[in-house]
Amino acid sequence: MLHIGTRQLQTTRQTHAATRSSNLGYGLDPGMSKRVTASITFVDSATNQLQAANNTFTPFAVGDNIRVDGANLNNTIEAVVTAIDATNHAFLTLADVGVKNEGPITCTVRAI
């Protein structure tokens, strides 16, 4: 119970996981600044690539942890970016996660 002057606050402070708004840790969800919704093609587990139009993956860098949402076969993939097309930012190569051939399909890729 918190004491404010001579009164007591009956509720306790709630902690919340990082979401789209700030939390009590005063941090923001990194997925808001590093988020892309686009038509993306997933290329098989031999290459583990996400391919899209030029400049689609500009917010991302090697080492970013990402999550894919909204795809059919590759929904909720979480992986580390191991390579990026530095010239056109048109593809991401992911750590070995077993990407399935799919697309092009409109889905969201965001940092986690």
* pLDDT tens per residue, range 4-55: 666 655 555 555 555 555 555 555 555 577 899 999 999 987 889 999 999 9
Paired tokens of 20:
């789209």
Closest CA to 112 of 70, 83, 76, 71: 76
Residue for token pair 């530095």? 86
Q: pTM of the full predicted structure?
A: 0.70
pLDDT of residue 41: 95
Domains and CATH numbers, the chain: 37-112 (2.40.30)
Computed over its alpha carbons, how large is the radius of gyration of the chain? 19
pLDDT of residue 26: 52
Residues 55-98: pLDDT tens digits? 999 999 999 999 999 999 999 999 999 999 989 999 999 988 88
> In this structure, is the dihedral angle defined by the CA atoms of residues 21, 25, 80 and 44, taken in order, positive or negative?
negative
Paired tokens of 61:
């860098």
Closest CA to 43 of 89, 1, 111, 105: 105
